[in-house]
A = this chain, B = another copy of it.
Amino acid sequence: MDYYGKKIGSLIEELSALPGIGIKTAQRLAFYIVNMPKERAEALAFAITDAKNNVHYCKECFTLTDRELCPICSSEKRNHRQIMVVENVRDLAAYEKTGEYNGVYHVLHGAISPMLGIGPEDIKLKELMKRLQSDTDEVIIATNSGLEGETTAMYISRLIKPTGIKVTRIASGIPVGGDLENTDEVTLKRALDARTEI
């Protein structure tokens, strides 16, 4: 890439190190950035260092935030007796977008995976157990429905049960709008097992 000179070359290099950004996309972005108005390029660079320097885990739920307690944990409108356990911040964002959940969260930052060598001590599980108070009504396990998510759900459930706190798991089944024909067998079986009377 020495036909551009070093500065574009190193911008392309930095960009292509980001996940999901290949060399072609990095090139396209780099050319776009050098053609941006100066203020916009500076705003982008500032947002990067500003977020990096000031964003950390919420000390309660471990989501990413720039305060000590995230807006959800510090909100009096949320039900702090109901804790939804998710694998990562994107899953939290997905549930927040529904606008249907009014409890708080706990972000594990991963899932138990013997295959990848990720054990219970590698995710924020100790921290979850520490949060559980005598006034916690329910822990909703919303890990993904794949093998690792299920393993994690089972593990957490066994850990919490002895405390007497109610533990639930979000339902798996046919996605709304999905057709049976294109649904995999495991999902079909689960949907059958989880059938409810109507």
A contact patch SS: helix
Q: Which residues of B contact A25 (CB under 8 A)?
A: 20
- Shortest C-beta distance, A107 to chain B (Å), equals 11
A32 B18 Cβ-Cβ under 8 A: yes
Give chain A's interface residue range (CB within 8 Å of chain B): 35 or more
Q: Which residues of B contact A130 (CB under 8 A)?
A: none
Q: Which residues of B contact A72 (CB under 8 A)?
A: 3
A27 to B18, CA, bound (A): 12
Q: Which residues of B contact A122 (CB under 8 A)?
A: none
With most chain B CB atoms within 10 A of its CB, the pick from A3, A88, A90 is A3
Asked if A92 is at the interface of the complex by the 8 Å CB criterion, the answer is yes
Q: Which residues of B contact A48 (CB under 8 A)?
A: 11, 14, 33, 41, 44-45, 48
A3 B45 Cβ-Cβ under 8 A: no
Q: What residues make up the interface of A, taking CB atoms closer than 8 Å to B? A: 1-8, 10-11, 13-15, 17-21, 25, 27-34, 36, 38, 40-55, 63-67, 70-72, 88-90, 92-93, 96
